[in-house]
Amino acid sequence: MIETPDDLVRARQAHEAHDWATAAARFDAVGAERLTADDLTAYADALWWLGRVEDNLRVEAAAHDALLAHSRTAEAGWAAMQLGIFHLGWGDVPQAMGWIGRAARLLEGAPECPAHGLLIQVTEVEPALQAGQSAVAVEAARRMRELAVRIDEPGLVLLGVSCEGRALFRAGQVLDGLALLDEAMLAALDGRLAPFTTGVLYCHTIAACHDVADLRRMTRWTDLAEDWLSSLSAVGVFGGLCAVHRAQLHLLQGTWAEAERSALRVVADLDAMRVDYAAEAWYVVGEARRLLGDPTAAKAYDEAHTRGRDPQPGRALLQFHRG
């Protein structure tokens, strides 16, 4: 595409309006030497929403370098955190840990900023949840929320509330956890949060409802998430994540063939952006096939296991029924 004088202006305006396809197309046409650090950040964001994973990682790294070159350390730390999270989603753990480590180094001694809150979530809350250390996760989530209040970041406050709710779930305080998740989502419904934050809150809430088999809440939040996604110009990875949750609902509701179809439609895209959800999609396929009496369920469980998902109890149930 030949660059025109107003391409950069239009790219900025389109990004501001969340018209990510137009923003990316206009940024694509602009010479790299004309892009500021803020332009590169916006460009990377548009690419993420369009699912252009490798381009997103490349431009986000360029944004990090440009921010650092202008001594915008806190924002460079945020970009490094984003790169770490996106590499984790892609399944590239070594690069992810490298970027997260760089973010921690950049943020050390810097004034409190949103990246500090994200760092607490990624390096303290999530590992504690995965390790079954619910009390540790609760304490870290509360520190995350308190930091967000101090720096007046409403989106980060709600992420902290959501993380605390998920941690209380794991501690067996299900009703308290549900109350916090509902509180966070209620605030997210007014449309004033950044789209990425809204998507994360939906995913965390729906996944937590699935974990405790709260079918009513899971159905309601999935319906609302799909309505929200339909209002966006592009859905990034959130369309695939929501599709997996819908497939889980089909499974729980006994519409097994639809659960299989829904999950299979998104596995390829999820492999490129969120390997953990691709694994969950394959597990849903395995469960649907097992319940339908399809012997290829074993292959689906293998696909889930290859991507890091424990194939139990599905695989054990399959073997039990085979005798």
Running DSSP on this structure, what letter comes out for residue 123? I
What gap in Å lies between CA 63 and CA 85, rounded to an integer? 16
Question: 97-123, pLDDT tens digit by residue?
Answer: 999 999 999 999 999 999 999 999 999
pLDDT at 241: 96
List domains and CATH numbers for the chain: 1-96 (1.25.40), 112-236 (1.25.40.10), 237-323 (1.25.40)
Largest CA distance in the chain: 71
280 to 55, 275, 313: CA distances (angstroms): 26, 9, 13
3-state secondary structure of 107: helix
What gap in Å lies between CA 306 and CA 290, rounded to an integer? 18
pTM: 0.93
Mean pLDDT, residues 29-56 taken together: 95
- Give yes or no for a cis peptide into 313 (omega within 30° of 0): yes
Say whether pLDDT at 2 is over 80: no
Question: 56-69, pLDDT tens digit by residue?
Answer: 999 999 999 999 99
